Amino acid sequence: MLAYRRDQSLLTEAGMPLALVRARDTDDVVETMKWAHRHGVPVVTRGAGTGLAGAANALDGCIVLSVEKLNEILHIDTAARTATVQPGVINGDLAAAVAEHGLWYVPDPGSRAISSIGGNLATNAGGTCCAKYGVTADHVARIKAVLADGRIIHTGAATRKNVAGLNLTQLLVGSEGTLAVIVEATMRLRAAPSAAATVVANFPTTAQAIDAVLAIRDRVEPCLVELMDRTTIAAVDAMTHMGLDESAGACCSSSATAATPLRRLRRVPMCARTPGQPRCTTPTIRSRAKSSCRLVESR
């Protein structure tokens, strides 16, 4: 039970739970919520426990309700481009499963390999692709959830147009487990992207790197933007030994899909031309630049 007391945050407090429930199906969740409701016991829902804010940390005397074993991909609908999953499915596992069908599950938090879809929904997780495609809220079609008293609700619809009534799906997204326990979700998929062209460059200052991001955005619609300041470059290099230039003030990596002609990326002015200021390094532009992939992984 101790291992389920807290998430990955280092500076938060965690209490001692009364009990740990490892739900194996929706009925387990319903029964847990009914019992807790009857006895006035708080419930802390837990996905994969990768949160960095202590939101899944136990309170004294609570039930920690782990949904990590609810981890089945129930259905991939290639025609509708949706996947219906249980909440404990790991984001990266879903992405890999739909990729076999030529589809793409877009939301890509840095914890993609270890965090769950339920947790991603409850925190409205975002990642490098949010610059173009948005965050988890932009990719959910419908949710099945269990309320505090054990009642089951269904929100949303798999159809593209679903405008009648209150938008309870979006109310649940980002609610951090305070409104209901998500037990099933239908997530939207996209066609797998064509190969990406990637530009990576170092800058003397963070301000210049930000100027470059804005310049890139003016010319192309990047599907991925990642910017690291000097402290982050040093931390990433210490961990990965990638040989990053630690003297750089900032490093920027940006990708656009093949629909964006490479020559347009080449024309992006990568540095503000302030007289007397040092210039950025010559940007490297390639298809599927390995260094950029590794930079993204290193998040």
Residues that bind ligand FAD (CB under 6 A): 7-8, 44-52, 55-56, 67, 87, 109-111, 115-116, 118-120, 122-123, 125-127, 176-177, 181-182
In the complex, the smallest distance separating the C-beta of residue 193 from ligand FAD, rounded to whole angstroms, is 19
In the complex, the smallest distance separating the C-beta of residue 165 from ligand FAD, rounded to whole angstroms, is 21
Q: How far apart are CA 14 and CA 46, in angstroms?
A: 13
Q: For the range 170-174, what are the long-range contacts, defined as Cβ-Cβ under 8 Å and sequence gap of 24 or more?
A: 170/137, 172/121, 172/122, 172/143, 172/145, 173/121, 173/122, 173/124, 173/136, 173/137, 173/140, 173/143, 174/122, 174/123, 174/124, 174/137
In the complex, the smallest distance separating the C-beta of residue 236 from ligand FAD, rounded to whole angstroms, is 12
Phi, psi at residue 179, to the nearest 5°?
Answer: -105, -30
Question: In this complex, which beta carbon is closest to ligand FAD, that of residue 55 or of residue 250?
Answer: 55
Pairing of strands 103-104, 190-191: antiparallel
In the complex, the smallest distance separating the C-beta of residue 282 from ligand FAD, rounded to whole angstroms, is 29
Question: Residue 76 corresponds to which amino acid?
Answer: I
Question: In this complex, which beta carbon is closest to ligand FAD, that of residue 168 or of residue 207?
Answer: 168
Nearest residue to the partner ligand FAD, using Cβ: 119
In the complex, the smallest distance separating the C-beta of residue 285 from ligand FAD, rounded to whole angstroms, is 25
Question: In this complex, which beta carbon is closest to ligand FAD, that of residue 139 or of residue 265?
Answer: 139
In the complex, the smallest distance separating the C-beta of residue 64 from ligand FAD, rounded to whole angstroms, is 9
Contact predicate 260/221, CB 8 Å:
yes
**Crossing angle for the helix pair 230-240 and 290-298, nearest 10 degrees?**
100
Question: In this complex, which beta carbon is closest to ligand FAD, that of residue 181 or of residue 285?
Answer: 181
Question: In this complex, which beta carbon is closest to ligand FAD, that of residue 17 or of residue 119?
Answer: 119
Helices (H), 26-99: 26-39, 91-99
Question: In this complex, which beta carbon is closest to ligand FAD, that of residue 127 or of residue 222?
Answer: 127
Tokens of 201: 């460059």
Contact predicate 83/76, CB 8 Å:
yes
